[in-house]
Chain A
Amino acid sequence: MAYYDGLFNVLGLRTWCDADAGGSNLSMASLLAKTKPGTADDGPLFPFPSMDELHQACSSMPQSRDFTASVEAAFLEVKDVLKLVLDPLTQPLSWLLELALTGFVSAPWWIIIPLLLLFVWYVARSVAVTAFVTLSFVFLGFIDHLEAAFQTLAIIGVCTGICILLGVPVGIAMAKSNTFQRALIPLLDLLQTLPTFVYLIPLIFLFSVTEPKLYGIAIIVYAIVPVIRLTDLGIRLVDRDVIEAANAFGMSPRQKLFGVELPLALPNIMAGVNQTIMMSLAMVVIASLVSAPGLGVLVLRGIRNLELGVGLIAGLGIVLLAIILDRVSKAAIARVSSDQTQG
């Protein structure tokens, strides 16, 4: 007899409980118990009243696996509608990713590398950083990892761009409205703490695994949080005296935003962009599970086939990319902040 039989008897629910006695599935535990009859009632003295435990006493109570099944059913229920809306909305992301990937891979190395170095120089204006990036590219090329590295870079580039495009306006709206900020913060907390693999599960159901937007969305949703947070913070931290001066000279909200708030928040926003880039890189490796090309694929191959060398070298490549992205964006931040350091 189950521990909680008495409870249902006292509540007078016995008839309701036994209404469909025969219909329930056997759990593994009860199946085992049946084969070894002697141990059936050797459970703990006072078991926790969990769904499964209550089900033993009353077969009308749902089991916990019914709970997860219903979550799945609910998701499948809305899946088609969701897909109908999201599919066309996110299609440009697929095109962008495909374009960037083919662009990076099909362009000859003697064009793409100088272009990238020029970009690095333009953003960072630092000889040391540019030299380091050059050496890293030469090294990656020499060990035949250039194509994979460029694929990874292409995905990060597209996703970071979209993160900035979406994140900065959201951050501005958050800075302007306390209500919006309060509403959004729990969502941002959720996005930031959700384990990375969990992002992939619903996306796999929504899109086919061959579509680039599947991993694109996963990366963007995961990496957009810091740019939103730091835009919000940056604008809220703008010196109140300066804002007062802007008001006193009759600046319109638009003039204030573009002439004062955004330029003064720029170092903070760029710190957010730096975080976003690093998080994109972290996610793009995991996204290899759902067909994202690049260095992550090699890491995955290393794990699947136990090819130690392949995995380690690809890992080293990822570390190199991380250092490049971090140093370039940090150099850009330093350049921007030194323009307005006071005192």
Chain B
Amino acid sequence: MTSDPKIQIRNLYKIFGTDPKSALKCVKDGMDKDQLLAQHGHVLGLNDISVDMQVGAITVVMGLSGSGKSTLIRHINRLIEPTDGQVLIDGEDALLLGTEALREKRRSDMSMVFQKFALLPHRTVIDNSALPLEVRGVEREERKRAAAGWLERVGLGGYENHYPYQLSGGMQQRVGIARALTSNSDIMLMDEAFSALDPLIRSDMQKLLLDLHVELKKTIVFITHDLDEALRLANHLVILKDGAVIQQGEPQGILLNPGDPYIEDFVSDINRARVLRVKSIMQSSVSASSFAGDIDAEDNLESVIARSGGETGHTYRVMQNGKAMGQLEMKDVMRALVPRATSGARTVA
């Protein structure tokens, strides 16, 4: 993470309504979403968002419905125009682009995957995934060859001449992903891409995305309302509430140190054993005299617990790439499994 961020969002505001400019002044003077709606009839979509999205990283923006996450992602390719602020892509202000330049940017530098797939129902799978190249004016044979390759990669080889309605939801979204990949753009925007899929398929698709990410190193912006999904995918996690960022950072860090009661509430429902990794809670010194065994820094706590067989006295040596990184005591594992803010006040109905 030494190079400049691929996408920089600077003090971005979006206000929906008839006179956003004057409403903007009120917001900058500290009015909140409810007051703005009550006194001006304007809806505060985004409130002073600043996020850096690094090259080749997956940035996950998480929030509940109405938190402004879909609005935010649409500012990156300017499907929605901001009220105030900057969106820099490779250091260049995307808001200054004219119609033609913007279109060119969307064609070659960004691709998007949608929650409801948004495939063209009258076109075959291969014509759908070849769309970005067709828009750019690439020859029919060439774009079909490229699209066929990506369809094969997402596991849809043999379905080229089917129509979208003949495929299941998961397969349709694979077409959506193949379409985004065919455009061969550096940036992939994914708007709740897996939210409409059932849990098993969703898990498959997350794995597919992670594999593709390792392979292609694209800059991915992923929107979701599901914390499990966010924690699984994110290199950088941004949590939105009422149009404002309430915490952002490395996901394990957020999980261990939630900065806000809202997030504490969120993370308390998470299966921490599966999400937390050894490297996040280990001691970085190797001091114990004997170890019960070696574990990998990327292992999750669930696998460590399984390995210990319930024994809480063990200490393990943490290895990464064949080198000893530190040690992990099982009592630290147990402690990490309890959310910091867990209060006896949480009642079970």
Q: A245-B118, A263-B122 are in contact. Are A342 and B106 (CB under 8 A)?
A: no
**Beta-carbon contact of B103 and A339 below 8 Å:** no
Nearest CB of chain A from residue B48's CB, rounded to whole Å:
25
Is the C-beta of B8 less than 8 angstroms from some C-beta in chain A? no
Nearest CB of chain A from residue B73's CB, rounded to whole Å:
10
Is the C-beta of A250 less than 8 angstroms from some C-beta in chain B? yes
Q: A255-B135, A341-B165, A343-B165 are in contact. Are A248 and B112 (CB under 8 A)?
A: yes
The contact of B106 among A249, A263, A340, by CB within 8 Å, is: A249
A251, A260, A263, A266: which has the most chain B beta carbons within 10 Å? A251
CA distance A341 to B116 in the complex (A): 15
Contact with A along B241-274 (1 / 0, CB 8 A): 0000000000000000000000000000000000
The contact of A340 among B103, B111, B122, B135, by CB within 8 Å, is: B122
Name the residue on A nearest B108 (C-beta). A250
Contact with A along B129-162 (1 / 0, CB 8 A): 0011011100000000000000000000000000
Q: A245-B112, A245-B114, A255-B135 are in contact. Are A340 and B121 (CB under 8 A)?
A: yes
Q: A244-B79, A342-B164, A343-B165 are in contact. Are A249 and B112 (CB under 8 A)?
A: yes
Give the chain B neighbours of A259 by CB distance below 8 A.
Answer: 120, 134
Q: A244-B114, A341-B165, A343-B165 are in contact. Are A249 and B135 (CB under 8 A)?
A: yes
Give the chain A neighbours of B112 by CB distance below 8 A.
Answer: 245, 248-249
Q: A244-B79, A245-B112 are in contact. Are A239 and B106 (CB under 8 A)?
A: no
CA distance A255 to B134 in the complex (A): 10
**Beta-carbon contact of B165 and A340 below 8 Å:** yes
Give the chain A neighbours of B106 by CB distance below 8 A.
Answer: 247-250
Is the C-beta of A153 less than 8 angstroms from some C-beta in chain B? no
Give the chain A neighbours of B132 by CB distance below 8 A.
Answer: 249-250
Give the chain B neighbours of A250 by CB distance below 8 A.
Answer: 102-108, 132, 135-136
CA distance A242 to B119 in the complex (A): 6
Residues 243-293 of A contacting B (Cβ, < 8 Å): 244-245, 247-252, 255, 259-260, 263-264, 266
Give the chain A neighbours of B179 by CB distance below 8 A.
Answer: 249
Is the C-beta of A189 less than 8 angstroms from some C-beta in chain B? no
Is the C-beta of B224 less than 8 angstroms from some C-beta in chain A? no
Is the C-beta of A77 less than 8 angstroms from some C-beta in chain B? no
Is the C-beta of B71 less than 8 angstroms from some C-beta in chain A? no
**Beta-carbon contact of A242 and B118 below 8 Å:** yes
**Beta-carbon contact of A339 and B163 below 8 Å:** yes
Is the C-beta of B59 less than 8 angstroms from some C-beta in chain A? no
Is the C-beta of B183 less than 8 angstroms from some C-beta in chain A? yes
**Beta-carbon contact of A241 and B165 below 8 Å:** no
Give the chain B neighbours of A343 by CB distance below 8 A.
Answer: 165
**Beta-carbon contact of B122 and A339 below 8 Å:** yes
Q: A249-B132, A264-B121 are in contact. Are A342 and B103 (CB under 8 A)?
A: no
CA distance A263 to B179 in the complex (A): 20
CA distance A266 to B122 in the complex (A): 10
CA distance A255 to B136 in the complex (A): 11
**Beta-carbon contact of A249 and B121 below 8 Å:** no
Nearest CB of chain B from residue A12's CB, rounded to whole Å:
54
The contact of A249 among B122, B131, B163, by CB within 8 Å, is: B131
Name the residue on B nearest A342 (C-beta). B165
Contact with B along A319-343 (1 / 0, CB 8 A): 0000000000000000000011111
How many chain A residues touch B (Cβ–Cβ < 8 Å)?
22
CA distance A250 to B104 in the complex (A): 7
**Beta-carbon contact of A239 and B103 below 8 Å:** no
CA distance A245 to B79 in the complex (A): 10
Q: A249-B111, A249-B112, A252-B103 are in contact. Are A342 and B121 (CB under 8 A)?
A: yes
Give the chain B neighbours of A255 by CB distance below 8 A.
Answer: 135
CA distance A214 to B14 in the complex (A): 58
CA distance A255 to B179 in the complex (A): 17
Residues 165-185 of B contacting A (Cβ, < 8 Å): 165, 179, 183
Give the chain B neighbours of A248 by CB distance below 8 A.
Answer: 77, 79, 106, 110-112, 189
**Beta-carbon contact of B118 and A239 below 8 Å:** yes
Contact with B along A213-242 (1 / 0, CB 8 A): 000000000000000000000000001011
Give the chain B neighbours of A341 by CB distance below 8 A.
Answer: 121, 165
Name the residue on B nearest A256 (C-beta). B135
Nearest CB of chain A from residue B165's CB, rounded to whole Å:
5
CA distance A245 to B107 in the complex (A): 11
CA distance A242 to B179 in the complex (A): 13
Nearest CB of chain A from residue B234's CB, rounded to whole Å:
22
Nearest CB of chain A from residue B110's CB, rounded to whole Å:
8
Nearest CB of chain A from residue B103's CB, rounded to whole Å:
5
Given A248-B110, A340-B121, 18 further pairs, Cβ under 8 A: A241-B116, A241-B117, A241-B118, A242-B118, A242-B119, A242-B120, A242-B121, A249-B135, A249-B183, A250-B106, A250-B107, A250-B108, A263-B122, A266-B122, A339-B122, A340-B122, A340-B165, A342-B165
Can you sample 25 A-B contacts with CB below 8 Å?
Answer: A241-B114, A242-B121, A245-B112, A245-B118, A245-B119, A247-B79, A247-B106, A248-B77, A248-B112, A249-B107, A249-B131, A249-B132, A249-B183, A250-B102, A250-B104, A250-B105, A255-B135, A260-B120, A264-B121, A266-B122, A339-B122, A339-B163, A340-B165, A342-B164, A343-B165
Q: Which B residues have a C-beta under 8 Å from some C-beta of A?
A: 77, 79, 102-108, 110-112, 114, 116-122, 131-132, 134-136, 163-165, 179, 183, 189
Q: Which A residues have a C-beta under 8 Å from some C-beta of B?
A: 239, 241-242, 244-245, 247-252, 255, 259-260, 263-264, 266, 339-343
A-B residue pairs, 4 tightest by C-beta: A250-B106, A250-B107, A245-B118, A340-B121
